[in-house]
Amino acid sequence: MMHLLIVEDERILSGEIRRFLEKEGFVCDEAHTGRIASDKIFSNEYDMILLDLGLPDYEGLDLLRESIRNKGTASVIILSARTAIEDKIKGLDLGADDYLSKPFSMIELKSRILAVTRRKHGLKGNIIHAHGLEVDLDKRKAFFNEHEIQLTKKEYDIFSFLILNKNKVTTRLQISEHIWGDIFEENYNSNYIDVHVKNIRKKLSEFLEGDFLETVRGIGFRFNE
């Protein structure tokens, strides 16, 4: 559901974060140098960037400035061994959303990611409510009156992304990038996403009256509330 970039030159830690988050359902990309991170940030639309300030080839705060200038939509959590309070304040002043000091536990990292996501979408808890539906972002499940709606992983990813962005049009390109982590021409051109959306609609219709998942012709989809 979420496309995330891990900027960390300690490869073991970077790999550990990636494996943990992928198991939790995130789509992850890694950059082990500031230069690669800078390129990736420029050419991808990430939901979130986990940014180590201590990189060998780049001043971490410069990368933060760049990422905020280029891609205003990505949230940024700083990961740093630097305990200097000035760095923390500078990072938050520049627009980082949160700051995590090393060492941290993976559970803590996940809860910070969820907290930043909630804030970004104006949510109070990990559960999104709409039309009697409940989408639990932590458990990655959707319910209607406590009955679980049996969605496949991809269906859940698409549905939760649309409901997080409810009342806004989400393009096929955005869905492709957020779900698959990349823009694959074939996904984008084919009706792959449409087939998933059709299946989601069918499953919702067993519980809900009315179709709230609107196809916006030629553009994408919008969940209306």
Contact set with Ca ion (CB under 5 A): 9, 52, 54
In this complex, which beta carbon is closest to Ca ion, that of residue 31 or of residue 142? 31
In this complex, which beta carbon is closest to Ca ion, that of residue 79 or of residue 151? 79
**Nearest approach, Cβ of residue 8 and Ca ion (Å):** 6
Task: Find the residue with minimal CB distance to Ca ion.
Answer: 54
CB contact set of 213 (below 8 Å; sequence gap of 6+):
162, 197, 200, 201, 204, 221, 222, 223, 224
* Residue in 153, 132, 151 with CA at minimum distance from that of residue 202: 151
**Nearest approach, Cβ of residue 46 and Ca ion (Å):** 19
Sheet containing strand 133-136, edge to edge, reads 127-130, 133-136, 141-144, 147-149
In this complex, which beta carbon is closest to Ca ion, that of residue 54 or of residue 95? 54
In this complex, which beta carbon is closest to Ca ion, that of residue 2 or of residue 53? 53
**Nearest approach, Cβ of residue 13 and Ca ion (Å):** 8
CB contact set of 162 (below 8 Å; sequence gap of 6+):
170, 175, 213, 221, 222, 223
**Nearest approach, Cβ of residue 11 and Ca ion (Å):** 10
**Nearest approach, Cβ of residue 55 and Ca ion (Å):** 6
In this complex, which beta carbon is closest to Ca ion, that of residue 82 or of residue 154? 82
